[in-house]
Structure 1
Amino acid sequence: MKLPTLDEIKSATQVVRAVMPPTPQYTWPLLNARCGTEVWVKHENHSPVGAFKLRGAAVYMDWLKKSKPTLTGVIAATRGNHGQGVALAASRLGLTSVIVVPFGNSREKNRAMQSLGAELIEYGDDFQAALEHSRTLAETRGLHPVPSFHTLLVYGTATYALEFFQGAPELSVVYVPIGLGSSICGMISVRNALGLKTKIVGVVAKDAPAYALSFRKKKALSATANSRLADGLSCRVPVPEALEIILANVDHMVEVSEGEIADAMRSYYEDTHNVAEGAAGAGLAAVLKERETHDGRVGVVFTGGNVDRELFLDALKTA
């Protein structure tokens, strides 16, 4: 897959601006003290759907509407944030949306997708099963399948990375949680396009280690994906195109445990009073895990804040 150029990212930014303003990047004194260095946080939890996924969905849907003007509906599989982005972007363009989620998915994410006009279908025990079912439904119902990883989604996620690198001081390293890979590929695109020396570190949940295993072995390897807290990172099968980019550009991978993710969610709340979902907490968990290695200013992506109340309360209680 060819990474977007700076001009292409700027063009994508114009599309994204039609649905959302830039999100902020802040450095928080209490968080800096906890991490032992100056940390800049990119707050994608401040988007209209509470996560970065709207950016890629907006770019993809804009292209889809222009290239297939007679299309009436789309379908996507998700654990929540991608589905919210697809539902909102589709409704803005007059398209119907069908979203497939696995059984036991976040109740509050499900409600959010329905509130954005999506038809919600539950199927399978994990994201991969929901994805495969969505592909079947796309054929039987004549819907366009919106992928969870695609070049245009990377264009969209790259828009937050451009804001981040332009809005924060020079960063020595940036930690990026990995679901299927569009976010970290967007970060890589901008780092490369701007010619920066910033190291990019991928973060996965220990209970969903497919990308970390694949990174170590330098080939795609499937793995179980059972993270209770970081459902957004619950990838069982890596995307080959994303893995190729990661292998060529990522400095290293960090695996974080459920306990470390819960600690980070609590730390975000105590130090910034932002509510972090597990995937967002994973990024900070990796920063804290590598606290002794930092040599310079650190960046971390706060990917989203969509977490069920009970799950968040459990994380707050963990000590």
Structure 2
Amino acid sequence: MNNQDVDNATQAMRGLFPPTPLQFNEHLSARHGAEIWLKREDLSPVRSYKIRGAFNFFRKVIGQGGADRIFVCASAGNHAQGFAFVCRHFGVKGVVFMPVTTPQQKIDKTRIFGGEFITIRLYGDFFDQCYQAAREHVEATDGVMVPPFDHPDIIEGQATVAAEILEQLPEGAVPDLVVMPVGGGGLSAGMTGYLGGLLSPEAFVFTEPAGAPSLRRSLEKGEVVTLPKVDNFVDGAAVARIGDLNFAVLKAFSPEQVMLMPENAICVTIAEMLNVEGVVLEPAGALSLTAIEAMDREQIKGKRVVAVVSGGNFDFERLPDVKERAMRHAGLKKYFILRLAQRPGALRDFLNLLGPDDDIARFEYLKKSARNFGSILIGIETKHPDNFKQLIGNFEGAGMGFEDITENEILANLII
């Protein structure tokens, strides 16, 4: 990748949208004793950086006389929306394949961005089925497949994020650390390629969801690894296999430079940014900020840190789940299975074990496990994690049978 080509792409992109803001964040800077800047890709026209790679890909194909071909993509998320927006901008026809299970909100947003220039086809229950249908359509129509990340023109388009950062920092300033999320690797390959001649390799910090560590596992093995399964909660970065071209750029980095963020920790960031900063982030968009929270304070103290906030396409129907996960990660909510005696006054005796800041958020009889005892699912919220130490001590002192199932993913997913 040539930096001059990236600069040319950046200038061409100005005909589509202005640079996304690079904002100094007072709140995070004060907390960490650092100079923390947020590159707000959630403020692009489609609320993610994906529009950049799509624009650059289309620009190159159209520049080579391909405006009459049908452009095709397979996506249920940000790539589809960027694709649709660019189709309308260039006035070319596009077909978006989405799984049948795609939420209606995402279908509607994609249709709004593309208007009359796109057709949406719902196919299959899973992405692999949808992707295969898109490939077959490309072959049947001599169309153009627009990949989400594994293509030189996509990488070059995503690198425009780095070009803007250098233009927007105070004159003469460069980052000490650049923190960026990784899914398929298009953004990280582009940014490290553009900034690699200016910053040391150690200046780059990558972050993936713990349930989809495709870059980390590939770096550990020294070759591209396909994960057998992924946790799809961080849907914008839950990729089972990093792009081959992208890994070729990133393979020189150390596995230790890839921070794996628990999905519940990401929820803490989403909730805090919404409540404190009024910023709406999708899970992938919160990855970089979650990584900053997890860093050793001495690692970033006094440094100039740029964190890429990659997207803000958050479905507010997910908010209750995000709040739940955030409280559990912060130690403010726990679930227990209790063995409660079936006698008058037993519930009152249990309530007397609760502290003044403990609140029952859920109470449900599961079954009568014995003639004199019943099994109860109870969810308890409190104001400080240490309160649970006292509560568990009270349970033990009263001889109450219980099991903490908060971190038991299998059991929790079945009954919570």
* Matching residue's letter, 2:208: V
Find the counterpart in structure 1 of residue 73 from structure 2.
Answer: 76
Higher relative contact order (CA 8 A, sep 6+): 1
Find the counterpart in structure 1 of residue 199 from structure 2.
Answer: 196
Please give the TM-score of this superposition, normalised by the length of structure 1.
Answer: 0.91
More displaced, 120-129 or 197-206?
120-129
The verdict on how the C-alpha distance between 1:132 and 1:142 changes in structure 2, with shifts beyond 3 A counting, is same
The verdict on how the C-alpha distance between 1:79 and 1:37 changes in structure 2, with shifts beyond 3 A counting, is farther
Q: Secondary structure at the match of 1:207?
A: coil
Q: Measure, in 1, the Cα distance between the counterparts of 2:126 and 2:182.
A: 17
Cα shift at 1:143: 2.2
What is the Cα-based RMSD across aligned positions, in Å?
A: 2.1
2:215 to 187, 211, 214: 211
Cα shift at 1:128: 4.2
Find the counterpart in structure 2 of residue 146 from structure 1.
Answer: 146
Any unmatched runs of 5+ in structure 1? Answer: none
1:163-205 deviation line (CA, Å, top 9, x unaligned): 1133224321111111211100121122124x22361122111
Q: Secondary structure at the match of 2:18?
A: coil
The verdict on how the C-alpha distance between 1:158 and 1:226 changes in structure 2, with shifts beyond 3 A counting, is same
Cα shift at 1:94: 1.9
Q: Secondary structure at the match of 2:81?
A: helix
The verdict on how the C-alpha distance between 1:11 and 1:114 changes in structure 2, with shifts beyond 3 A counting, is same
The yes-or-no answer on 1:284 pairing with 2:289 is yes
What are the residue-to-residue correspondences of 1:1-319 with 2, within 5 Å? 3=1, 5-69=2-66, 71-115=68-112, 116-117=114-115, 118-148=118-148, 149-168=150-169, 169-193=173-197, 195-197=198-200, 199-249=203-253, 252-292=257-297, 293-295=299-301, 296-316=303-323, 318-319=326-327
Decide which structure has greater helix share. Answer: 1
The verdict on how the C-alpha distance between 1:105 and 1:209 changes in structure 2, with shifts beyond 3 A counting, is farther
Q: Is the 8 A contact 1:215 1:253 kept in 2?
A: no
The verdict on how the C-alpha distance between 1:302 and 1:142 changes in structure 2, with shifts beyond 3 A counting, is same
More displaced, 296-305 or 162-171?
162-171
Cα shift at 1:78: 1.9
Q: Measure, in 2, the Cα distance between the counterparts of 1:127 and 1:35.
A: 40
Q: Measure, in 2, the Cα distance between the counterparts of 1:160 and 1:242.
A: 16
The verdict on how the C-alpha distance between 1:209 and 1:79 changes in structure 2, with shifts beyond 3 A counting, is farther
1:104-157 deviation line (CA, Å, top 9, x unaligned): 334432221111233223334554443333212211243211112211111111
Asked which structure has the greater CA Rg, the reply is 2
More displaced, 100-109 or 200-209?
100-109
